[in-house]
Amino acid sequence: MARGNFHKMHGLGNDFIIIDTRTSPVEMTTARARALADRKTGIGCDQLILLEPSDVATVRMRIFNQDGSEVESCGNATRCVVSLLGQDATIETDGGKIDGAYHENSITLQMPPPRFDWQDIPLAFAMDSAAMPMAWDELANPMAVNVGNPHAIFFVEDIDAIDLLNLGPQIEHDAAFPERVNVNVASVRDGALLLRVWERGVGETRACGTGACATAIAAIRQGKVASPVTVNQAGGSLTIGWEPGGLIEMTGGATYVFMGEVDWDDFG
């Protein structure tokens, strides 16, 4: 039997299985990640997080979506990892190194600067990433931003009027996005942002940290809001700060739920 421990945490309702492989080694495959993330027959989560040794940071973080695909970055998970470590920490991800400042009730992350060039999103061919000449029903001309992972941002009058369960997967899998894309629909209210996010490989989540960053950056670039800005999602609020050419700063909470033990072999 290959038994090991895991931590269950969430950032504003965006929930994670976190496995510290430095103390609980486990081989992770697409099938095993998908089985563990299943909410009916597994532990259940939006993303599964592996912590590994790093030569350049406090710890290396790997991220598996609910569908088993491995992705580059996750802001809510990074806050949870810093909270779990209980100290200021630098987190190595495939989307770049992230510095985390630990406080008992909130975590502040400093993330690499956003990228806007079409090939950095990446998009399938050259186009204006500030207003993509594309539309899916009522969602048109998104701004594309890479904040460690790719996002498309649409500003609308009423986020609840958007059929995100239908349009989200259409846009996620559109051929214009060779690595798929996270889909953000946002509205501006009283200097703050209201946001819904369809996460690639997961679906609509209660909160998305990188989605909040990408949307705040798009809104700041378009002059819709000033930095720092509050981004309100179903699971709660994040504060995002960004000045052109600078790092992205995100502040928000992280919640520890429980620790469990599992036989990895039960999940493939």
Can the peptide bond before residue 133 be classed as cis, meaning omega within 30 degrees of 0? no
Nearest-angstrom CA–CA distance, 224 and 65: 31
Nearest-angstrom CA–CA distance, 37 and 39: 6
Of the residues 45, 80, 208, 213, which is catalytic? 208
Is 45 an active-site residue? no
Is 208 an active-site residue? yes
Nearest-angstrom CA–CA distance, 214 and 218: 6
239 contacts 228 by C-beta, under 8 angstroms: yes
252 contacts 236 by C-beta, under 8 angstroms: yes
Residues with Cβ within 8 Å of residue 39, at least 6 apart in sequence = none
Of the residues 45, 74, 80, 213, which is catalytic? 74
| Cα angle for residues 22, 26, 29 (degrees, 5° grid) | 130
Q: Pairing state of beta strands 47-52 and 14-20?
A: parallel
260 contacts 19 by C-beta, under 8 angstroms: no
Nearest-angstrom CA–CA distance, 222 and 145: 13
Catalytic annotation, residues: 74, 208
